[in-house]
Amino acid sequence: MKRFSFSHEDVSGETIRRLVADEASGAYVAFEGWVRNHNEGQRVLRLEYEAFESLGAKEGERIIREAEQRFGISTVYCVHRLGKLEIGDLAVIVGVSTPHRGEAFEACRYIIDEVKHRVPVWKKEYYVNGDSGWVNCERCSAAAHQHDHGQD
Amino acid sequence: MITVQIEYFAILREHIGKNTEAVDTEEKTAGGLYDELAARYALPHMVHMKVAINDEFAEWDAALTEGDTIVFIPPVAGG
CATH number of the domain that residue A100 is part of: 3.90.1170.40
A58/B contact by beta carbon, under 8 A: yes
| Cα separation, A82 vs B40, whole angstroms | 30
Strand A42-51 to strand A83-86: parallel, antiparallel, or no bridges (unpaired)? antiparallel
* Dihedral over Cα of A107, B49, B77, B18: its sign: negative
**ipTM, two decimals:** 0.96
Q: In this complex, do B71 and A52 lie within 8 Å of one another by their Cβ atoms? A: yes
Sheet holding A4-7, edge to edge: A4-7, A75-81, A90-98, A27-34
Q: What is the rounded average pLDDT of the residues A93-100?
A: 97
Q: Which amino acid is at B72?
A: F
**Residue B52 confidence (pLDDT):** 98
Are residues A36 and A44 in contact, defined by beta-carbon separation less than 8 angstroms? yes
DSSP string for B3-58 = EEEEE--HHHHHHHT-SEEEEEE---BHHHHHHHHHHHHTPPP-TT-EEEETTEEE
**Residue A144 confidence (pLDDT):** 45
pLDDT over 70 (residue A145): no
**Residue B35 confidence (pLDDT):** 95
DSSP-derived letter for residue B67 is T
Q: Nearest CA of chain B to the CA of A69: how many Å?
A: 22
Q: How far is CA B33 from CA A62, A146, B17, B58, B64, in A?
A: 28, 22, 18, 13, 9
**Residue B45 confidence (pLDDT):** 77
| Cα separation, A35 vs A44, whole angstroms | 9
Nearest to A119 among B56, B74, B76 (CB): B76
**Residue A113 confidence (pLDDT):** 97
pLDDT, tens digit, for every residue of A6-56? 999 999 999 999 999 999 999 999 999 999 999 989 999 999 999 999 999
Q: Nearest CA of chain A to the CA of B27: how many Å?
A: 23
Nearest to B75 among A54, A124, A136 (CB): A136
Q: In this complex, do A140 and B78 lie within 8 Å of one another by their Cβ atoms? A: no
Domain extent, residue A9, equals: 4-151
Phi then psi for residue A117, to 5 deg, are -90, -30
Q: What is the rounded average pLDDT of the residues A87-108?
A: 97
Nearest to B42 among A80, A117, A147 (CB): A147
pLDDT over 70 (residue A70): yes
A1/B contact by beta carbon, under 8 A: no
Nearest to B44 among A59, A124, A144 (CB): A144
**Residue A90 confidence (pLDDT):** 98
B10/A contact by beta carbon, under 8 A: yes
Number of domains present in the structure of chain A: 1
CATH fold label, B2-73 = Ubiquitin-like (UB roll) (3.10.20)
**Residue A139 confidence (pLDDT):** 58
pLDDT, tens digit, for every residue of A3-20? 999 999 999 999 999 999
Q: In this complex, do A115 and B78 lie within 8 Å of one another by their Cβ atoms? A: yes
pLDDT, tens digit, for every residue of B1-56? 999 999 999 999 999 999 999 999 999 999 999 999 999 999 987 888 999 999 99
